Amino acid sequence: MKILLINQVFVSPEEPGHTRHFEMGKHLRERGHELVIVASDLNYQTGRRVTQSRAEQTFDGVRVLRAAMLPAIHRSYVWRVAAFLTFMLSSVWTALRVRDADLIMGTTPPIFQALSAWMVAALRRKPFLLEVRDLWPEFGISMGVLKNPLVIKLSRGLENFLYQRAAHILVNSPAYKEYMINKNVPENKITYIPYGTDIEMFNPSVDGSFIREELNLKDKFVVLYAGALGQANDLDTLLRAAKRLNENNKIRFVLFGDGKERERLQNEARQMNLSNVIFAGVKAKKEMPAVIASADVCLAILQNISMFRTTYPNKVFDYMAAGRATVLVIDGVSRQLIESSRGGVYVPPADDAALAQTILDLSQDARRVKEMGENARAYLVQHLNRRDKLNETLALFEQLTKG
C-alpha cells in the first residue's frame, strides 16, 4: 500500500515535538508499505522554518514533501488562521504530485488541512481517512478562542462535513468516539486506537544525568514539564505553585518546550521573582528520552475546561514508558489512565495550592515516587506499546484499501 498523509505539524526526529507519524512511516516501510507525508516547512512549537527548500526530504526512509506556510503561527489567532489557510492551499497542490496513493489520510487539528486531504481524495477517487487528534472546533470554543457566532457555526459545519465525507474516522481517545456518536456519526465508522509510545526509546535505563549537570540540578528534586508552551497548557498554575515553593531550595520546575506563550511566561516568572523555575529551551525528539530521564516526576497540565477531560496528552505516555511518575493536572480520561495504572497523582485543574502541596509531599517520599514510576512503566508496556498500536492502525489501512 501507499498511504498519503497531509499533516501540517509533522515532526522529524531532528525537531522538537511528537513524532508518531514518522514512527508510523518507519513501521509501514518495515512491512513493505509506504507512507508519504505532506508537511509544512515550519515547526509548530518554535514557529521557525525547518527547511529553506520545498524539495523532497527523506528521514530514515520516510518521504516528506514540504508545502509552504505563512510564518505566523505564533502571532495573533487571525494570523494563525491565515497561516493555516496558506498550508491548506499549498498542501493540495503538493499532494497532487503523488499519483499512486491507495488511501488519503487527513489529520486534525488544524481542521483546514483535513479539508485538503478530502479534496485530494475526491480528485484521486481514493478513500479518505480522517484522523482526529483533538476535538476542533470544540476545544477552541471552550477556551474562548472562537467567539464569533458565525465563525463557530461555519467551523462546526466544516467539522460535520468532514465526518460525513470520511470513509472512516480514527480517534486517539475513547471520549472522542462518544462525542462523535452523539453527533450521529455511525459507531462502525469510528475506530479508537490510542497512540501509546515507543517503549524502547523511552525506558528507565536511559541516563539523564548530563541534563541535570547542564542545568545545575545535581541534588535537586526535578519536576519536568515537556511540551508546548501554549494557551491550553495552563502553565500559569504551574508558576503560582512554584511561587508557593520558592523558598524550598530542593525543588526545581524545569520546562522544556516552546510556543506562543513562552515569552509571556518567562516575563511572568521574572516578575514573580521565581528562582525555582527554569525555561530550558527545546530539544529534538531523539533527545527527549534523556530529558525525561533527568526528572524525578513529570507534569501534564491543561486548562480547567470540560472538553479537555476527553483528551490524552501524548507526553503522559512518554513519561510512563520512561518509568516516571506523573503529576496530572487534567481530569477525565487521562485521570482514569493514571489512576488505573497507579502511575501518578491527580491534582484538580487550576488548583495551584494542591499542586504545590502534592509536589512537596512527593519530594519527601522517594519510595512512593519510585513505585509509581515502576507501575506506570509496567502498565504502558502491557497496554500502550506503540508497536502494537501501529499494527492495529496497519490493519485498519488494509481494511480500507481492500475495496
57-70 residue pLDDT tens: 888 889 999 998 98
> What share of the chain in percent tops pLDDT 90?
79
In this predicted structure, what is the pLDDT of residue 52? 62
> What share of the chain in percent tops pLDDT 70?
99
250 & 282 share domain:
yes
137 & 174 share domain:
yes
**Which pLDDT band, with edges at 50, 70 and 90, does 367 fall under?**
very high
Q: What is the pLDDT of residues 279-331, one digit of tens each?
A: 999 998 899 999 999 999 999 999 999 999 999 888 999 999 999 999 999 99
60 & 96 share domain:
yes
Residues 372, 376: Cα–Cα separation, whole Å: 6
106: pLDDT strictly greater than 90: yes
Alpha carbon of 276 to those of 151, 272, 299: distances in Å?
A: 42, 11, 15
Q: What is the pLDDT of residues 205-249, one digit of tens each?
A: 999 999 999 999 999 999 999 999 988 999 999 999 999 999 999
Domain count, the chain: 2
> What is the DSSP annotation of 336-385?
HHHHHHT-EEE--TT-HHHHHHHHHHHHT-HHHHHHHHHHHHHHHHHH-B
In this predicted structure, what is the pLDDT of residue 54? 62
The C-alpha cell at 1 is: 500500500
277 three-class SS: strand
Residues 324, 316: Cα–Cα separation, whole Å: 10
The C-alpha cell at 31 is: 512491512
**What phi-psi label fits residue 281: left (phi over 0), alpha (psi between -120 and 50 degrees) or beta?**
left
165 & 215 share domain:
no
152 & 273 share domain:
no
In this predicted structure, what is the pLDDT of residue 49? 83
51: pLDDT strictly greater than 80: no
Residue 201 falls inside a structural domain: no
Residue of 153, 161, 157 whose CA lies nearest to 117: 161
Overall average pLDDT of the 89-109 stretch:
95
Residue-range definition of the domain harbouring residue 284: 209-383
Lowest mean pLDDT among 50-54, 55-59, 364-368: 50-54
Q: Any idea which residue has 522517594 for its cell? A: 366
In this predicted structure, what is the pLDDT of residue 205? 96
In this predicted structure, what is the pLDDT of residue 53? 63
The C-alpha cell at 222 is: 526535578
Residue 204 falls inside a structural domain: no
Q: 248, 356 in Cβ contact below 8 A?
A: no
Residue 335 falls inside a structural domain: yes
Residue 68 falls inside a structural domain: yes
Residue of 189, 73, 219 whose CA lies nearest to 128: 189
